[in-house]
Amino acid sequence: MIFVKYYKFAVDICKSIIDENPDSSLTSYALDLLWQGSRNYDVEGFKNYLQEKTSSKVKKELYGDMELILSSYDMRKSSKVQSIESTAQKYAGTSIEEAALFQKFMYYFNDEENTDMAKETSDELDNFLNRNLLWKPTGYLKEIPKV
């Protein structure tokens, strides 16, 4: 439906899948499609929907994904990083923490063009992977190229 520009219909279907099956593996796919459709249809409604879901006391990785999506809409530098770090801490030791660290790295590297903070975040991600994976990475970025 998204690809033929029936955004409202697609958004409604995706919300229904997420609401009725929050623990299903389909919800991540539905969340991605919801995000795509909402960008073209109703961004504010999408952000409100995510806010409502993430305000739940229940801790699900799906809600962590939603928190990271919400932080991508935050244009204030300090609160964006704080939001990402809060999500990483809340979901420590999970794939959400890994995604949050990667998002923080990309923010510093691309948006801020701050190679020092990007390197520091790369080291955090490296430490996370060393603690949580059976294989040991050799370091993603020994040296970050100047932009």
**Structure confidence by residue, pLDDT tens digits, 7-56:** 778 888 889 999 998 888 889 888 988 888 887 778 898 899 999 999 88
Long-range contacts of 130-137 (CB under 8 A, 24+ apart): 131/93, 132/93, 132/98
One domain for residues 1 and 69: yes
pLDDT of residue 9: 82
What is the pLDDT at residue 16? 92
Residues 61 and 94 in one domain: no
Given a cut of 90, whether residue 133 has pLDDT beyond it is no
- Are 1 and 30 in the same domain? yes
Last residue of a domain, one of 73, 102, 123: 73
**What mean pLDDT value characterizes the chain?**
84
Question: Which pLDDT does position 33 carry in this prediction?
Answer: 85
pLDDT of residue 1: 47
Range(s) of the domain holding residue 112: 76-147
Mark whether 143 and 80 lie in a shared domain. Answer: yes
Q: Structurally, how many domains does the chain consist of?
A: 2
Structure tokens at 113: 């063009």
The gap from C-alpha 2 to its chain's centroid, in whole angstroms, comes to 21
Residues 10-21 pLDDT 10s: 888 889 999 998
Query: Of 26, 52, 73, which closes a domain?
Result: 73
Task: Please state whether the predicted TM-score (pTM) of the whole model is above 0.85.
Answer: no
